Amino acid sequence: MPTERRPQRERLALRGALLRLTPPLETIAEDVLGVVSRIDLITRDPDGAVTVVLVAQAGADLARLAEGIAQRTWLAPRLADWNQLAPHLALAAEQGARLLLVAPRFDDRTRTAVEALGRDGVRLAELIPRGDLDVELRVLELDPPSEPTQPPTASPRRESGFRSGLRD
Amino acid sequence: MARELADVLHHFLGDSVSGERLGPASLALLSEPDDAFAVAVAWNLAHELARQGLAVAWVTSLADEELLPPDATPGLTRLLSPAQELSGLARAVSEASAKLAASRAPGLVLARVPPGWIAPGPAAERTLAWTLQLVPPDLEQRIRAIAIARRVLAAHPSARVGAVLHEVRSVREAERAFTALARECAERSDARLTSYGLLLDEAELYRSLLARRPLALLRPEARATRAVADVANLLRADFACDAD
C-alpha cells in the first residue's frame, strides 16, 4: 500500500470498529481542528449523542485524556451550530459531548481518572489488531466513582492489589 | 502525542521499532505435570495473547501434548521439550526465545513449571523471572500458593509472582480471596503478589480443549471467555510496561 494512503486506511478501520460497538458510533467528522490541536473523529450514536474520539499512542494516554476533556468541552457549545448547518444529523446538543479515548493500553492513572470522572462522560477503549489494517475496540468496564459519603481512600480492591477488568 | 492512527497501529501490525525489548519474555505457569486444568488455561491464554498481538511460543511437555489438539492452531507456536528438570526446560525456553526473536512482533515464551522443579541456579534465573499460579480461594490452597511463591523468590529473588484466582463464582469472591491471599503472604514472607484477575466457569475451558477450539472462537460471549481475555490483558499490560 502506498505510504500516503495508510493513515486513511487506518482511520477507516477505526471507523468500522466504532460502528461495531453497542450502540454503534457513526463518524460525522474527522481530523477536526479543535482547541489548539486536531480531533481524530467525532461521532454520533443512534440517539444523536456526540462523542469525541481521540487515539493515544502507548504511554501518552494520560496526557491524551486531558486533551480529550478539553476538546469535548470545546465542542459542546458548538453542537447547536452544527445542528443548524446539518439538521439531518439531529445531534443531541443538550447532552454536550462525550469522550472515547482509544489506545493500545491504559495507564492505571488514566483508568482511575476516568473512574473519578464517571463513565457517562468518558470511556476508554483498547485497540486490538485484527489482521492487516483491521482493528477491534474493547470498551473497558471501569468501576463507578465512589459514593460521596465514602472517605476518599482507595477501594479495598486497590489496597489489596487485586486487578480485574470484569464486573459482577 | 498521537494525532493519527498511524502513530499507534504500528505497535500492532508488525512494524514496531526494533530494539524495544532485548528479547522475548518468558512466563512460567506453576502447575503440576498432570494438571489438565492448567493445560486448558495455558492453551487458551496463549491463544488470547496471540489474538491480542503477541507472538507466543509454548514450550510443552509430553503430558501437555497428550491433551492438546494434534494439529497446529493459528497464532500459537508449540515446541515440545522432553525436559524432566528445570535446567532442561530453561534450555528449551532459550531455544523458543531465539525462535521468537526472529519474529517482528513482541514475543512471549510460555512454559508450565512444576513447583517441585523450583531450585536456585541459572535455570531459575532464565525461567522464573515471571511466574503465574492458579489459586483456588480456600485457605489450604492459599497457604500452598504462598509456599510456592516463597520457593520462587528463594530461587529468583526479583521474580514477579502472579496469581489468578479460580474456582470462584464472582469477581467479588475473587477479590476477597486475593485480599486474604495478599495479606497472608505479607504476614509470612516479603513476597508481594501481583494480581492477574480471575477465571470463571472453568468447565468451559475444558470444553474448549475437547472441542479443539480456543474459547474466544468457541464461546466468544461466555463469561469464561471474558475472564481469560481479562487475564491475558493484564499479562499483556505488564509485558508492555516491562518493554518500555
Report the gap between the CA of A14 and the closest CA in chain B (Å): 8
- Gap between the Cα atoms of B213 and B40, Å rounded: 11
Judge whether B222 is closer than 8 Å to chain A, CB to CB.
Answer: no
Is there a domain that residue A1 lies in?
no
pLDDT more than 90, % of chain A:
35
Whether residues A161 and B183 touch (CB distance < 8 A) is answered with: no
B161 pLDDT above the threshold of 50:
yes
Give which of A144, A162, A156, A154 is closest to B168, Cα–Cα.
A162
- Gap between the Cα atoms of A137 and A13, Å rounded: 10
Nine-digit cell string for A56: 493515544
pLDDT band at B241 (very low <50, low <70, confident <90, very high): confident
Interface of B with A in 20-59 (CB under 8 A): 51-53
The pTM score is 0.60
User: What separation in angstroms does the CA of B103 have from each of A58, B7, B10, B54, B222?
Assistant: 21, 21, 15, 10, 32
CATH number of the domain at A66, please: 3.40.1350.10
Return the pLDDT at B4.
Answer: 46
Return the pLDDT at A146.
Answer: 45
Q: Scanning every residue of chain B, which has its alpha carbon at the shortest distance from the alpha carbon of A141?
A: B230
* Contact yes or no for B215/B31 (Cβ under 8 A): no
Q: Which of A55-59, B121-125, B161-165 has the weakest average pLDDT? A: A55-59
* Contact yes or no for B166/B198 (Cβ under 8 A): yes
Domain count, chain A: 1
ipTM exceeds 0.95: no
User: What separation in angstroms does the CA of A7 have from each of A45, B23, B69, B78, B120?
Assistant: 24, 30, 40, 35, 50
Is there a domain that residue A57 lies in?
yes
Is there a domain that residue A119 lies in?
yes
Nine-digit cell string for A115: 473512574
Q: How many CB pairs under 8 A join A and B?
A: 120
pLDDT per residue as tens digits for the range A25-35: 999 998 889 88
Domains, in order of start, for chain B = 5-241 (3.40.50.300)
* Contact yes or no for A110/A62 (Cβ under 8 A): yes
Judge whether B226 is closer than 8 Å to chain A, CB to CB.
Answer: yes
pLDDT band at A8 (very low <50, low <70, confident <90, very high): low
Q: Residue B165 carries which side chain, given as an amino acid letter?
A: L
Nine-digit cell string for B18: 526494533
Q: Which domain holds residue A58?
A: 6-139
- Gap between the Cα atoms of B97 and A75, Å rounded: 49
Is there a domain that residue A110 lies in?
yes
- Gap between the Cα atoms of A95 and B224, Å rounded: 36
Is there a domain that residue A127 lies in?
yes
Whether residues A161 and B182 touch (CB distance < 8 A) is answered with: yes
Is there a domain that residue A94 lies in?
yes
- Gap between the Cα atoms of B159 and B213, Å rounded: 32
Residue B135 has φ and ψ, to the nearest 5°, of -120, 120
- Gap between the Cα atoms of A104 and B233, Å rounded: 11
What residues in A contact B12, CB-CB < 8 Å? Answer: 104, 127-129, 135
